[in-house]
């Protein structure tokens, strides 16, 4: 019995050590990125109306993904913007940000060109162009970028 209890103590110590190691190995979560959009619409993505989330707003293109995947159009970074939206930025496309809403469990952090960002039933997509005052304005996206996002590489 004395020996069994000794083993229990060893397992307990090992458990705590392993837990500490496992917790410290987890990467830090990608920080939320908030941006100021020049067009100050009254109803925006992330708002709630009658206990329902607003997923897209004026300026978003709605695409029926039907469970398909949205891919990174260039090498870049995916950052959370709200509970429903992520922002994609790339050093290859200065002055622009892409906002993708409606994807479930998005792949946050650094991504390669063509790597999956996430999938969902619908994608709500906006292109944002940087303004001299540091705000971002919603512009009409080109088909070329949408094709890169929707076509499997």
Partner 1 sequence: MSDLESDPPILKVLLLLGLVLVGFALMVDVRRVSWGNFMGNSLKSSRPTETCQGEIRGDIVLSREKLAAFLTISERDPKSRVQEILPQSYCQLPTIEVRAGVVSEREVYPLAFDPHTWLIVLYEGEEYAGYQFRFQAPE
Residue spans of alpha helices (H) in 57-107? none
- The stretch near partner 1 (CB under 8 A) out of 35-43, 46-54, 78-86, 113-121 is 113-121
C-alpha dihedral sign at 134, 135, 141, 145: positive
Among 33, 44, 130, 150, binds partner 1 (CB under 8 A): 130
Among 101, 106, 141, 149, binds partner 1 (CB under 8 A): 141
3-state secondary structure of 69: strand
Among 37, 56, 72, 103, binds partner 1 (CB under 8 A): 72
**Residue 143 interacts with partner 1 (CB under 8 A)?**
yes
Which residues fall within 8 angstroms of residue 53, CB to CB, at 6 or more apart? 46, 47, 83, 84
User: Is-contact 140 146, C-beta < 8 A?
Assistant: no
Contacts to partner 1 by CB under 8 A: 1-2, 4-6, 8-9, 11-16, 18-19, 22-23, 25-26, 69, 71-72, 74-75, 90-96, 107, 111-116, 127, 129-132, 139-145, 148, 153
């Amino acid at each position: 019995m004395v020996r069994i209890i000794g083993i229990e103590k060893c397992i307990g110590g090992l458990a705590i050590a392993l837990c500490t190691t496992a917790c410290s190995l987890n990467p830090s979560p990608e920080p939320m990125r908030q941006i100021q959009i020049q067009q100050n619409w009254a109803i925006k993505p992330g708002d709630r109306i009658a206990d329902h989330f607003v997923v897209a707003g004026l300026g978003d293109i709605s695409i029926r993904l039907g469970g398909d995947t949205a891919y990174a159009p260039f090498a870049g970074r995916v950052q959370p913007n709200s509970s429903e939206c992520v922002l994609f930025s790339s050093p290859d496309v200065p002055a622009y940000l892409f906002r993708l809403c409606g994807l479930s469990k998005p792949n946050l952090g650094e991504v390669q060109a063509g790597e999956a960002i996430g999938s969902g039933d619908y994608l709500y997509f906006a292109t944002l162009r940087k303004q001299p005052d540091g705000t971002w304005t919603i512009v009409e996206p080109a088909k070329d970028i949408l094709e890169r996002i929707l076509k499997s590489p």
